[in-house]
Amino acid sequence: MVHKVNSGHPGGSLGCTEFFVALYYEIMELKDGFDMNGSDENLFFLSNGHISPVFYSVLAHKGYFPVEELNTFRLIDSRLQGHPTTHEGLPGVRIASGSLGQGLSVAIGAALSKKMNNDRKTVFALMGDGELQEGQNWEAIMFAAGKKVDNLIATVDLNGKQIDGATDDVLPMGDIPAKFSAFGWEVIKLEKGNDLKAIVETLKLAQTKTGKGKPIVIIMHTEMGNGVDYMMHTHAWHGKAPNDEQLEIALSQNPETLGDY
């Protein structure tokens, strides 16, 4: 997808592929079809909207829209905008994201809505680690603990990288799990964030901790660009598309690929 339009964010998408597959195929209870209210089903909010390629791919494969439509990613008149949006009516997307730091607040609102509706299904959210530099997150983190939003499982994609370099070089954020703990969250560390089995187990563990007065966060260590050797261990592929040769190498390293359609 990213190669086809020579635009997009492959690094973070590859780093979170296993997470999306685990969440959508093994964890979330979803109704057939799509309605915005999403009552009596799990909801997911993507805060770091730039990893739209993996989000779109999983939504398409789950049947929210035709897989062929992935070919329109970032092209004119597409429902698959560069960053996810509800504006074009793409099924599976419930909020626009891309301007960072807003998704956790939205997920909290949706979780509160579920509580008010006596809907016991959990709300999930994914954030990037660099994104935690946005102050709104800390308003949301403080609120969710203070108001006991315990039907929410947030995950932080801890890949240690952002556009300008390593997060520790750009703006060191210190001990992120300790920060969540100090704010009153239930913190679960996931060291193998690119291991499907480990992710499923961790998400299941997180589900057992809902309804106990604390919001839950999974600090998920991932490798940006996972599965493509030249994209790993660097921030260079945050927002850059591979050329023809690079794509061939990448696909050869990933026999089961999201691919272009």
Partner 1 sequence: MEKYTDQGKVDTRSGFGAGLTELGRTNPNVIALCADLVGSLKMQDFIDENPDRFIQVGIAEANMMGIAAGLTIGGKIPFTGTFANFSTGRVYDQIRQSIAYSGKNVKICASHAGVTLGEDGATHQILEDIGLMKMLPGMTVINPCDFNQTKAATLAIANHQGPVYLRFGRPKVANFTTDEMPFEIGKGIVLNTGNDVTLVATGHLVWEALLAAEALEAEGVSAEVINIHTIKPLDTELLLTSVRKTGCIVSAEEHNYLGGLGESIAGALASSHPTPQEFVATNDTFGESGTPAQLMEKYGLNKNAIIAAAKKVMARK
Judged by the rule CB under 8 A, the positions of this chain that interact with partner 1 are 36-39, 43, 45, 85-87, 94-99, 102-114, 116-117, 119, 135-136, 139-140, 142-143, 146-147
Which CB atom, from 133 or from 254, has the smaller least distance to partner 1? 133
Shortest distance in whole angstroms from residue 35 CB to partner 1? 10
Smallest distance, partner 1 to C-beta of residue 213, A:
17
Q: Show the beta-strand stretches assigned E in the chain.
A: 43-46, 123-128, 152-158, 161-162, 165-166, 186-190, 216-221
Cβ nearer to partner 1, comparing 117 with 252: 117
We find the least distance from the C-beta atom of residue 30 to partner 1, in angstroms, to be 15
Please, what's the b/e burial string for 33-59 (b: 16 or more CB within 10 A of its CB; e: otherwise)? ebeeebeebbbbbbbbbbbbbbbbbbb
Shorter beta-carbon distance to partner 1: residue 18 or 119: 119
Contact between residue 206 and residue 197 where contact means Cβ atoms under 8 Å apart: no
- In terms of C-beta distances under 8 Å and separation of at least 24 residues, what long-range contacts does 30-34 make, across chains too? 30/62, 33/91, 34/64, 34/91, 34/92
Of 142 and 205, the one with the shorter C-beta distance to partner 1 is 142
Shortest gap between Cβ of 157 and partner 1 (angstroms)?
19
Do residues 250 and 228 lie in contact, with contact meaning Cβ atoms separated by under 8 Å? yes
**Greatest CA span in the chain, whole angstroms?**
53
Pick the closer one to partner 1 by CB: 93 or 228: 93
Nearest distance, CB of residue 226 and partner 1, angstroms: 28
Minimum distance, C-beta of residue 200 to partner 1, in the bound complex (Å): 26
CA 129 to centroid of chain Cα atoms? 11
CB-based contact 61:33 (threshold 8 Å): no
Distance CA 107, CA 95 (A): 10
CB-wise, 110 or 199, nearer to partner 1? 110
The bridge status of strand 123-128 relative to strand 216-221 is: unpaired
